[in-house]
Structure 1
Amino acid sequence: MYQTKNPQLTPELYAYVLDHNPLDAVQRELVDVTHRQLADDAGLQTAPEQGPLLAFLVRLTGARQIVEVGTFTGFSTLSMAQALPEGGRVIACDVSEEWTAYGREAWAKAGVADRVDLRIAPAIDTLRALPQDPWIDLVFLDADKASYIAYWEELVPRMRPGGLLVVDNTLFHGEVTDQERGGGAAAIRAFNEHVRADARVEDVLLTVADGLTLARRL
């Protein structure tokens, strides 16, 4: 059995990581407001260090057309929209007007509201209504785990060759290896196997935050 090289993520080490992945004022305010106003649901927010990572991936890939499944209060949306080139767009899928209202305010403050196309509806309906031809440059999937495979099957055919899919929570609180666990853990376990068997992509699962899968459309 291989031994992990990951150090124990103590509060001090995590603070060090965050210090080396700084947020701007609007991003920080949105993270803080989410935890203050929606304390019971704040765990749904993308981890702070993932915001700079998503922005980096947008710039690295040169993405112009992004689809986000699961927006919550819009932190990940904001991070990606800020990294887009002129004329780029994020189609953001969510079902909550209440939660995304926080995002709308932040996107406006950051001057990127015109780059975000927020669609309030069941995400599967939004995805099925998208153009069929390959055109998506980057996807960020962070929504209800039971639907991950269904979302994947709508998204992969619409990815341009070389397009990048970024999927959050693919370790599911460390419960993904527990064969006795159902619910979200079982759904993620099935999703991970689905991705690994998908010949349309090459993928890597990383121990970033709660697990992050990167998959490139072949």
Structure 2
Amino acid sequence: MDHKSLLQSDALYQYILETSVYPGEPEPLKELRELTAKHPRHLMAIPPDEGQFLRLLLKLMNAKNTIEIGVYTGYSLLSTALALPDEGKIIAMDISRENYDMGRPIIQKAGVAHKIDFREGPALPFLDEMIKNEEMHRSFDFAFVDADKCNYLNYHKRLIDLVKVGGVIAYDNTLWQGSVAVPPEVPMSESMRYGREHTLELNKALAADPRIEIAQIPIADGVTLCRRLS
């Protein structure tokens, strides 16, 4: 498969795209998706059905201030920027400006670049600096995490202070290509097993965290939504 959907039928996934996703996909997102498809690691980007889901979720939440950890070429970032009001803001973090710069001209052409505060480098130091500023505590409506799986729990420890009560943290790839449900003795690549172990640890921790209520959505490679309760 050349997509990240866990649906067993390629035809069914194509039906969803052609019937529900592509007709409403904003032109800048289509352009960025087609540009990213030429990148050798294009599967790192979220798929368009997940982008559609995030845009609707953000609008339903009336979100204005968000955090994004892991930008890549910017499909999820542009999805967020298009969903936020004109005064909305996104603090976006990624270790590679090169990938972000690939999609930045499309983001600028879409007229939403003013909403984005891009920060190049590992996310944890940036988050720690934000934590030091008490005015930032409970000030974000939403956070989206699609980055190094080994640090998801470290991100959660910090984001839980930055996202407001009633706000949402979304973790991507929480079904890890379905590997979370297979027996540990099943043969798989070292990288797949590494990601599986960290994902299992994350899923267990999120389910047991009394500060949040969660819903694990089987869209794309799995997205877990965490609504902060306290």
In the superposition, the TM-score normalised over structure 1's length comes to 0.92
Match of 2:218 among 203, 207, 210: 207
Query: In the superposition, relative to structure 1, how do residues 103 and 120 fare at CA in structure 2: closer, same or farther (>3 Å)?
Result: same
For 1:34, the equivalent position in structure 2 comes to: 36
Provide the C-alpha distance between the structure 2 equivalents of 1:162 and 1:34, rounded to a whole number of angstroms.
Answer: 33
User: What does the per-residue CA deviation read over 1:62-96, in whole Å, with 9 as the maximum and x for residues that have no partner?
Assistant: 11110001000000000010110121011111010
Q: Which amino acid aligns with 2:209?
A: D
User: What does the per-residue CA deviation read over 1:96-135, in whole Å, with 9 as the maximum and x for residues that have no partner?
Assistant: 0110002311210111000111110101111111134211
Provide the C-alpha distance between the structure 2 equivalents of 1:31 and 1:194, rounded to a whole number of angstroms.
Answer: 33
Provide the C-alpha distance between the structure 2 equivalents of 1:45 and 1:84, rounded to a whole number of angstroms.
Answer: 20
1:170 partnered with 2:169 = no
Paired residue secondary structure (2:170): strand
Cα RMSD (Å): 1.5
Identity %: 35
For 1:3, the equivalent position in structure 2 comes to: none
Q: Which amino acid aligns with 2:84?
A: L
Aligned ranges 1:22-101 → 2 under 5 Å:
22=22, 23-36=25-38, 38-39=39-40, 41-101=41-101
For 1:4, the equivalent position in structure 2 comes to: none
User: What does the per-residue CA deviation read over 1:30-76, in whole Å, with 9 as the maximum and x for residues that have no partner?
Assistant: 1111111x12x111101111111111111011111100010000000
Provide the C-alpha distance between the structure 2 equivalents of 1:58 and 1:207, rounded to a whole number of angstroms.
Answer: 18
For 1:160, the equivalent position in structure 2 comes to: 164
For 2:184, the equivalent position in structure 1 comes to: 179
Conservation of the 8 A alpha-carbon contact between 2:166 and 2:227: yes
Provide the C-alpha distance between the structure 1 equivalents of 2:26 and 2:7, rounded to a whole number of angstroms.
Answer: 27
1:197 partnered with 2:202 = no
Provide the C-alpha distance between the structure 2 equivalents of 1:120 and 1:202, rounded to a whole number of angstroms.
Answer: 31
Paired residue secondary structure (1:51): helix
Match of 1:139 among 116, 120, 143: 143
Paired residue secondary structure (2:165): strand
* Length, aligned pairs only: 210
For 1:117, the equivalent position in structure 2 comes to: 117
User: What does the per-residue CA deviation read over 1:168-194, in whole Å, with 9 as the maximum and x for residues that have no partner?
Assistant: 100001111343473010000000011
Provide the C-alpha distance between the structure 1 equivalents of 2:74 and 2:32, rounded to a whole number of angstroms.
Answer: 8
Conservation of the 8 A alpha-carbon contact between 2:7 and 2:13: no
Conservation of the 8 A alpha-carbon contact between 2:68 and 2:77: yes
Paired residue secondary structure (2:48): coil
Shift of 1:8: 5.2
The structure with the greater share of residues assigned to helix is 2
Provide the C-alpha distance between the structure 1 equivalents of 2:65 and 2:128, rounded to a whole number of angstroms.
Answer: 16
Paired residue secondary structure (1:91): strand
Conservation of the 8 A alpha-carbon contact between 2:90 and 2:116: yes
Provide the C-alpha distance between the structure 2 equivalents of 1:42 and 1:14, rounded to a whole number of angstroms.
Answer: 18
Provide the C-alpha distance between the structure 2 equivalents of 1:11 and 1:175, rounded to a whole number of angstroms.
Answer: 19
Provide the C-alpha distance between the structure 2 equivalents of 1:205 and 1:64, rounded to a whole number of angstroms.
Answer: 23
Conservation of the 8 A alpha-carbon contact between 1:68 and 1:140: yes
